[in-house]
Amino acid sequence: AKAGREREREGNKLRFLSKMRTATAATAIGRGQAPCHASALARTLASPPQRGHADVSLREKSRTVRMRMRMRRLVVKARASAEEKIDPTTGLPISDSDVVKKATVEINGTTWSYRYTVGESKKPTVVLLHGALSSSYSYRRVIDLLGRAGYDVVVPDWPGHGDSGVPAAGKFAFKADDYVHGLSAFLYKVIGKEKKFVLATQGFILGQYGMLYALRNADLIEKLVIFNTPLEAKTPLPGILQKVKGSEGGLFGFNNPFAKSDQGPLESVEAANYMQGGSPYFLDRDDAETYQDPFYDQAKRDAAQSMMKNVNYEELLKTLDEGFQRWRVESLVAFGTSDYYVDWETAIEWLDDKRTCMKFYTFADKMGHTVQDDYPERVAELLQNFCEGNDIQKKSSLKRTGDFTE
């Protein structure tokens, strides 16, 4: 039976990689970019120089250097673990193992996995929450940078995501209350009952559950940061999330009233394609595999399906909108403006009837839906400045007094 499960897992991986190559090429063509495959690059670098050029020897030397650098990166990459990123300039691994730690804790019979750092007591604790089909891995470099700056950082994998376990159906109904109560118990056990902290949340569904947690535990929130999270009902669920929910998306991502609901178990959850789809950048293959890997297991595919089936997206948005009209904690809504899932201007519209304790900020750099993965240095810098009460450089006003832009 174990060998059979391993064969099924390997088969799922091969099918995923095939789909990923096709989807990446299609995405590149749709965005006017030329898809780049390693085999094509190798053929290009290995091709003989064109005749009729005076700089043939120089080009040959340049080609040789590039090939050596590429081979060096491949060798180093093979030695690096999935937790390590490769610097594209030097080809050397960037490791966070000396600062970022990993641990697990049991919450109501479910294993919660989390990344954390141990910082200085005088600095606030920062809790970072990921969105649907993502994991704490998306914050890996942000955690490292904040940890080196002396912050206690705690970043859990939500149940059914990353390295966390799948809750038993009898104890966990996969509804908003279950996720919020689970997060409360997790933070109570890891941080403590009375300790206040800075909360940052991002993404669809789980990111919104993070906001719901903040509303119910405002006395524990020192400051709140909302990264690229859908806030208006006009923002539809991305097609992949709609598929997980059990219905195919219609034209431009809106619900298709004629679509048939799929009640059976999911054969696949395209987490890597989902992570790629909201960003203007190509997803590294190792990163794609890290996001996809949990969903090779049927139990986690079932958990994702239950999560999506039990969410009332429109009602959730309404609850958040009404709740944050009375919000009084210092907050920052920070958006990357190259998000292919969420239009950043909807955040400005959402803030129109909110208190001025909630500021708006846009990153000047090209950053998509998962800003922490697209440009972690900018995200860490913003979090540090906001935590420490430093002024965020203001170059132009947007639509609300007190809003920020780089």
Query: 315 pLDDT band (50/70/90 cuts)?
Result: very high
Task: Output the 3-class SS for 304-356.
Answer: HHHHHHCCCHHHHHHHHHHHHCCCCCCEEEEECCCCCCCCHHHHHHHHCCCCC
What tokens does 232 get? 């208006």
What's the confidence (pLDDT) of residue 78? 41
pLDDT digits (tens, 9 = 90+) for 205-225: 999 999 999 999 999 999 999
| Separation of alpha carbons 390 and 406, rounded Å | 14
What's the confidence (pLDDT) of residue 194? 84
What's the confidence (pLDDT) of residue 337? 97
What are the beta bridge partners of residue 13? Answer: none
Buried-state track 357-390, b at ≥16 Cβ within 10 A, e below 16? ebbbbbbeeebbbbbbbbbbebbbbbbbebbeee
* Percent of the chain whose predicted confidence (pLDDT) is above 90: 66
Provide the sign of the torsion angle of the four alpha carbons 277, 163, 172, 107, taken in this order. negative
pLDDT digits (tens, 9 = 90+) for 272-308: 999 999 999 999 999 999 999 999 999 999 999 999 9
